[in-house]
Chains A and B, each alone.
Chain A
């Protein structure tokens, strides 16, 4: 193209005009940023108390906010459902907030639509329904832990008496509450005081992972394990599926659910007949025994356990359920499905939950949904249910909305938002207020419910004082006990997944990549099977099984787990999702087709056989035996008594290297294997704190997961041993002397640090690390995606590809404490630096501090008779040490 001088000038003028138009200020007057808003100092995080609910009760949280961005969740020590700890779900919930695949707009018949249109359509329907006192209106919610929402729903029922509110929570408490109905005539919730009992018998109760009081119970369990002959508790577990409690048990017996029920009957009727039962019964009697019953057991078994606990005088309180819904969830959703199929439902409002995916298979919920003229689904994701509803509304995340929630013991907490809704979502309170035809913000609803309290104090503390439910006195009735049915040839045990729960966290990469405690599988589920049963079916881990039940067939890869019950497979729910998002779609296999409304937690298999195809399981630990190396040490309580040291110190006396001179702090960590229950909270807390990327299923299979602290799991001596392994911060660190560029350095306080921008990626350090705790960015794992990057901790470098990384003992937290101490011109005090893993640990198993301070908690732990160093014989002189596990088997029983 030829351009004359005149044309050139014309073009320049035009583009200059365009450019200046682009830069013009808005019409409204704007004000420059002259004064910093109070308390939004970059680099100074602020913490807000809130509460999050995952398994039917709230866990108190303190959420870290960096210049307005929620970045990290910590536990709230004042909250009974947290006691300062967090669950893996609590940690991962912040990633869910920033998930780019959260639903961002209302949709009508899957097409984006305006919210105004929804409201007018809803109002039109409501006007029609109000004339019929609400007949034809149904509301479906999961367990309602919010007292405000409860009263809103009560108000709705009062306003529209013919309308019905249903419940469906895949992780419901039906059996527990029905058992109480049998035993006491009303639904009640047991609150266990594990630490007051010295002999606990758990009948398939997954109290460390699925019970509403899980974090509290883990803490209590940990306290009960103090290795003193007078006070140490003993845990008996009968389990139908691998569980944390089973792994921690002093005596664990694996059997299918039906067998556990038969065992319980025999135990209740004639414990003297069997040696094991006799020994357990005696122990329970003598030591203020407590029996826990799992949700998988039948209501009559629960009723029987209530009676046995009563007879034992067990430390268990009964309270009203925190969600006082009068019906079992399975019954409630069956009624709804029936009504939908009968065409009686005109307007269905589904307030959270995903029944289109997780409703019992026999109800054919999806087909019923198709018959509802106007269905509305409020949820975080545009999921399986949304796709089948007329309307989908994006819900607010708990970090975006006002609400309230009760802990497992009834204690209420206010849920306060940390950030305005990212996508203009609707909260459950708001949608119910629309149904009440009195539109109200969530804040107004919640504030209205809590008029009488000191609002600010409740927000500040994270709990509303004196709201725990008082124990209920209830009289026992006699329960007719059935003759238990003969167990099926093969049974399938369905359990909530430790990561994705019922499937709601399927699109959460942190949770997907978190190794499941019992199998170390990531990115999916498997049919867990015992070694003997696997031999019988001629399968190995990774062989795909075809499982047929009455009416359903699924294909799922097998995973051989030592100590699994025979003639039974365990499959976690929550996988095989079709509309979870890019992360969760297609991960694992969907076990919901096996789940029927009259048998939520197990199914009888008509046949199980090998298909011949294979599916790689993405496990992070491929070898489960310790090969006699004694890395995770344990000792029986009886052998410990009178010993100054439980385990021989194998550290060589001399070292060729001169000792490092230290004149200041000497940071160290101690990990107590006696209380660690292997829940993985440390791993995911570290991931959240340290901007650790996820790598995806294929990379995990390739052996490239990035977790800085992993939880090793060994099967040894018929026990499951857990062992968290972070960097050991060796005094004689093998990584330091091999690096050609000196990227790993030993600092003046004994930290073994990795200088990321010096690292060229020779990986020599990892080759020479005997603990294999170093992690390498083989590819560009850290992504710069919007809005996920908003979650990143601003105090921690995001690493690029080709760089080695590893645990730093949360150097940024040490630095933060140092700045505070320096301002006051003093030393850092013990307990001022809390590492992310330590903060999250529900068992309090991790202690961190300064060895130079002889009174520090960590110095104390290092003087414990249980202390030992990992691979001490290599003379690496690690700063991280362990306290070995103490088991307390009953001398009357030989199975230890």
Chain B
């Protein structure tokens, strides 16, 4: 087992079993809502209302309210989908892979990262439906028995997507829930009102903290971690196949699966920082989510930045190396065409900007980290949008070339989805322990007796 480093362990020594439980459980049970939370709640609630209003309008009018056309028949909906799925990566990566690798420092960030994963993947799952011309038939993509014996068309990557995403969502949910059970029991035991006792009690599934419970919980948790680990890689690989199986230059590329996974981790860790920094600040969790945690995330960002940079490089290189005139034209268009400013912007955000993390001071500057997390998220969204849109707008037949210009509805759904995500996260902070109480107790115990 990897030992905790001093700068993570030291603050923990100030804490005991009881004080950890008090601190985290009180955030949910007793701490009154302060104005920052209330303000955030109001704003994100309004944003969510707008999001669902826009969806209603979309269902009434059709996807023509977006800027899509022929040739660019996929627009923001698909870019948003890929982006949210990417964000949904970091949670499971942190929880499952770092758990298997016995990275104890993950303990204080895994819970909210998993919540983030769930919310992001859930929102991501909405977008392919919002993207459909006839969304009310979305279930036709799933294999279900019907009298006409019609099945999905298995060669389509979209069908693989359905499986990849739904599996990922289910496993992520189970993993998150399994981890929550001991904490739910803690909340049940500490709840002051009957309603809360019943609610938490129902979901705690009769947890009494017996040794047998703990033993089973441990093995279940490890098993789920084992299940979730390959999914971290598979889900975005499959999403990338939506593009890679196409024959269109800019989509058709073998580098896509690893490149998309790296991009997903990149944006996921950026989102972890975006959420963790305000959370530790407002809820005074600096002892649990330490600078060291933030610094580790920064290192991951730096590494992922280089991975995606490699992806950008190899895409360009392969185009010229192939000698294929269409591939070369696509790259030239990417570098100097209509959408070139966006491409250079994403290079700036995803490749150039993270290089500040070579400096320790930068990695430990909370405000810079927060700013950088936003920059990377912006850059990653732009990357998805450029791949989805720019590749299509200049493909094989110059006669069919055209530009996609986003409409107000494109932006509303993107910003609305962000608002809805934040809304869900704010609710999570108030109703569930944002940091795993039981695992923190374990850590505190270990540190006390180290």
Which positions in A face B, CB cutoff 8 Å?
621-623, 625-629, 631, 699, 702-704, 710, 712-714, 723, 725, 734, 737-742, 758-764, 766-768, 770-772, 774-780, 800-804, 871, 874
Contacts and interface: CB of A to CB of B under 8 A. Distances in A.
Interface stretch (B220-228, B292-300, B396-404, B438-446): B396-404
Given A622-B402, A740-B152, 14 more contacts: A621-B400, A628-B325, A702-B69, A703-B402, A713-B399, A714-B399, A741-B141, A759-B133, A760-B135, A760-B140, A764-B156, A776-B133, A777-B62, A778-B69
25 contacts: A621-B399, A622-B401, A623-B398, A704-B64, A704-B69, A737-B153, A737-B156, A740-B141, A740-B152, A740-B159, A741-B150, A760-B140, A762-B132, A763-B73, A763-B74, A764-B156, A772-B396, A772-B400, A778-B69, A780-B62, A801-B64, A801-B133, A802-B133, A802-B135, A803-B134
A143 B159 CA distance: 63
B57 interface: no
A704 B133 contact: no
B222 to A, nearest CB: 35
Interface stretch (B25-33, B182-190, B242-250, B370-378): B242-250
A798 to B, nearest CB: 15
Contacts of B138: 760
A762 B402 CA distance: 19
B336 interface: no
Contacts of A779: 61-62, 64-65
Contacts of A763: 68, 73-74, 133
Chain A interface, >50% SS class = loop
Contacts of B64: 699, 704, 778-779, 801
Contacts of A800: 134
Contact of A738 (B68, B70, B246): B246
Interface in B138-156: 138, 140-141, 150, 152-153, 155-156
A627 B402 CA distance: 15
Contacts of B157: 738
Nearest to A705: B70
Contact of B329 (A627, A699, A702, A770): A627
Contact of A741 (B74, B153, B329): B153
Contacts of B158: 738, 740, 762, 764
Contact of B133 (A625, A713, A725, A803): A803
B258 interface: no
Interface in B32-80: 61-65, 67-74
Given A738-B245, A767-B392, A712 B397 contact: yes
Contacts of A712: 397, 399
Contacts of B71: 703, 766, 772
B61 A760 contact: no
B396 A778 contact: no
A802 B155 CA distance: 22
Contacts of B403: 622, 703
Given A761-B134, A768-B247, A631 B63 contact: no
Contact of B397 (A631, A704, A767): A631
Contacts of A767: 73-74, 246, 248, 251, 392
Contact of A739 (B153, B248, B398): B153
A737 to B, nearest CB: 4
A760 B401 contact: no
B327 interface: no
Contacts of A741: 140-141, 150, 152-153
A764 B401 CA distance: 17
Contact of B395 (A628, A710, A760, A770): A770
A627 B71 CA distance: 18
Contacts of A725: 397, 399
Contacts of A803: 133-134
In the complex, the 10 A-B pairs of residues with the closest C-beta atoms, listed nearest first: A761-B133, A802-B133, A703-B69, A778-B64, A779-B64, A742-B153, A772-B400, A712-B399, A763-B73, A740-B158
Using C-beta atoms within 8 Å of the partner chain, give the interface range for chain B. Answer: 35 or more
Contact of A740 (B153, B329, B401): B153
B49 to A, nearest CB: 25
B320 to A, nearest CB: 16
Contact of A776 (B70, B141, B397, B398): B70
Contacts of B72: 703
B313 interface: no
B236 interface: no
B359 interface: no
B89 interface: no
A629 B247 CA distance: 17
A785 B100 CA distance: 65
A800 B140 CA distance: 18
A625 B397 CA distance: 10
Nearest to A737: B155
A778 B397 contact: no
A775 B71 CA distance: 9
B180 to A, nearest CB: 34
Q: Which of A621, A623, A766, A778 has the most CB of B within 10 A?
A: A778
B131 interface: yes
Nearest to B148: A758
A737 B154 CA distance: 8
B156 A802 contact: no
Interface string B228-250: 00000000000000100111100
Given A631-B399, A741-B152, A760-B137, A702 B67 contact: yes
Contacts of B329: 627
Contacts of B132: 760-762, 802
Contacts of B61: 779
Q: Which of B68, B128, B397, B402 has the most CB of A within 10 A?
A: B397
Nearest to A771: B397
A740 B141 CA distance: 6
A703 B70 contact: yes
Interface in B141-179: 141, 150, 152-153, 155-159, 162
A763 B71 CA distance: 10
A626 B326 CA distance: 12
A542 to B, nearest CB: 14
Contacts of B70: 703-704, 766, 772, 774-776
A865 B313 CA distance: 43
Given A742-B153, A871-B396, A734 B63 contact: no
Nearest to B252: A768
B133 A804 contact: yes
Contact of A770 (B63, B133, B245, B248): B248
Nearest to B75: A763
Interface in B104-141: 128, 131-135, 137-138, 140-141
A273 to B, nearest CB: 42
A862 B400 CA distance: 26
A655 B65 CA distance: 40
Interface string B241-284: 01001111001000000000000000000000000000000000
Contacts of A734: 246-247
A625 B325 CA distance: 15
A742 B156 CA distance: 9
A737 B329 CA distance: 26
Interface in B359-380: none
A800 B136 CA distance: 13
Q: Which of A703, A712, A759 has the most CB of B within 10 A?
A: A703
Interface string B192-210: 0000000000000000000
A803 B136 CA distance: 13
Nearest to A628: B325
A703 B398 CA distance: 14
Contact of A627 (B67, B156, B398): B398
A768 B248 contact: yes
A287 B325 CA distance: 43
A777 B247 contact: no
A725 B398 CA distance: 13
Given A740-B153, A767-B74, A871-B396, A778 B325 contact: no
